[in-house]
Amino acid sequence: MRMRAAVLEEFGQPLEVQEVELADPKPGEVLVRIVNCGVCHTDMYTASGADPSGYAPAVLGHEGAGVVEKVGDGVTSVQAGDHVVTLFSPQCGECVHCVDPRTNLCMAIRAEQNLGHLPDGTVRLSRPGSGEDIRHFMGTSTFAEYTVMPEIALAKIDPEAPLDRACLFACGLSTGLGAAMNTAKVTEGSTCVVFGAGMVGLGAVAGCRLSGAERIICVDLSDDRLALAEGQGATDLFKADENTVERLLEMSEGGFGYDFTFEATGLVNVMAQAVETARMAWGLCTIAGVAGKGETLDVIPRWLITGRRVAGSSFGGVKGREGVPKLVDLYMQGEIDVDPFISHRITLDEVNKGFDLMHAQDGIRSVIEF
Ligand SMILES: NC(=O)c1ccc[n+]([C@@H]2O[C@H](COP(=O)([O-])OP(=O)(O)OC[C@H]3O[C@@H](n4cnc5c(N)ncnc54)[C@H](O)[C@@H]3O)[C@@H](O)[C@H]2O)c1
Ligand SMILES: [Zn+2]
Ligand SMILES: [Zn+2]
């Protein structure tokens, strides 16, 4: 079929919205009509050329939500009409990681996904006329009216859930919620610090609140973002400066630090602050931000010997097919206030404007409406 999609033709250049050919789903694959899609830093990072593993031409986009149009042979878990959230982190249910409750890092299709292929090593996207291959991005390619994805990378959600909000669960929001609820397993009555009040940090604030934390300090440079953190349940708003660590430790009980700290900025110096402010004796620091290529985390070993621990969290440790529908249900029950995250609504043709808004830190998310 012919459809419109935003194609990364050349690194560092605006995406080009154009007609693209999309082939039918093969066995185990599903055709999804995209209804909404968030514009995320990862898309912009790849488009800029800074991501060393990026490739072009490719259809970007990974925060999609839509409706199943058609399924390939052997697909049993979704059918036409189902509402789905796209997963860049799939859940095959069978690999060594999927059967282990300790991780969500499904191994089933990683290698081909990283190459921009569907699991069988081929692509469904091509240029009309020449037939030149166009690659898939993150296994999702949701800056497009339609996408073909593996069944194992679709989370079937409550059909009543509005898809413009549901799409945010495809990436940052689930990452933050999950970092608190799954990876750190924040406990009732605990003290927490969240560094960064973007989509991921705000999700972590909400996850701490849902886990019954008593004190949730959110740290950011922007007053507007801290105001959003208050709406998600932060009890203290903290403007970062050169004395962030000292001030935070001073504010903590006995000066020992905090039970749970979260890093959601992608900055390695802030990661170190999150480790240092975790409580001596048992504090757990969870790192969700993605650092630049080649950057390292500078941690004084004494921080660890005296009981602080460090964990990393990819997609919040959420096993997507099981976990995302549950998070969407929490939203539907009124437990998560998603509306404030949608700052702009744009068309597919305005996708580059979505990048500009993100670059200017104007709002949390631009959501494309198809
Ligand atoms: N682990 C995962 O699976 C996963 C998924 C999605 C995104 N991420 C990563 O998470 C990070 C956050 O993503 P986001 O979309 O929320 O980004 P964002 O840019 O919207 O938010 C980052 C926030 O950090 C704040 N900040 C900057 N310097 C700071 C400092 N010194 N102290 C405190 N706050 C500071 C900024 O003001 C901003 O509000 C990024 O690195 C992103 O790549 C990881
Ligand atoms: Zn994302
Ligand atoms: Zn798996």
Residue ranges per domain, the chain?
2-170+337-369, 176-314
Domains 2-170+337-369 and 176-314 share a fold: no
Q: Is 83 marked active-site? A: no
pLDDT, mean of residues 76-104: 98
Top CATH class of 176-314 equals alpha beta
Do residues 288 and 311 touch, judged by C-beta distance below 8 A?
no
Q: What does the pLDDT read at residue 308?
A: 98
Measured in residues, the chain has a length of 370
pLDDT tens for 275-330 read 999 999 999 999 999 998 899 999 999 999 999 999 999 999 999 999 999 999 99
Architecture of domain 2-170+337-369: Alpha-Beta Complex (3.90)
pLDDT tens for 97-140 read 999 999 999 999 999 999 999 999 999 999 999 999 999 999 99
The confidence band for 366, taking pLDDT boundaries of 50, 70 and 90, is: very high
Ligand sitting nearest the alpha carbon of 104? 3
Query: Whole-angstrom Cα distance, residue 282 to residue 276?
Result: 12
Which residue's alpha carbon is nearest to atom 7 within ligand 1? 172
pTM: 0.97
Give me the catalytic one of 42, 140, 147, 183: 42
Q: Is 192 marked active-site? A: no
Do residues 288 and 175 touch, judged by C-beta distance below 8 A?
yes
Q: Is 359 marked active-site? A: no
| Ligand 1 within 6 A of CB of 270 | yes
Structure-token pair, residue 329: 């249900």
Q: What does the pLDDT read at residue 302?
A: 97
Strands (E) located in the chain: 2-8, 16-22, 29-38, 58-59, 63-71, 83-86, 125-126, 133-136, 146-150, 154-156, 191-195, 215-220, 236-239, 260-263, 284-287, 309-312, 342-346, 365-369
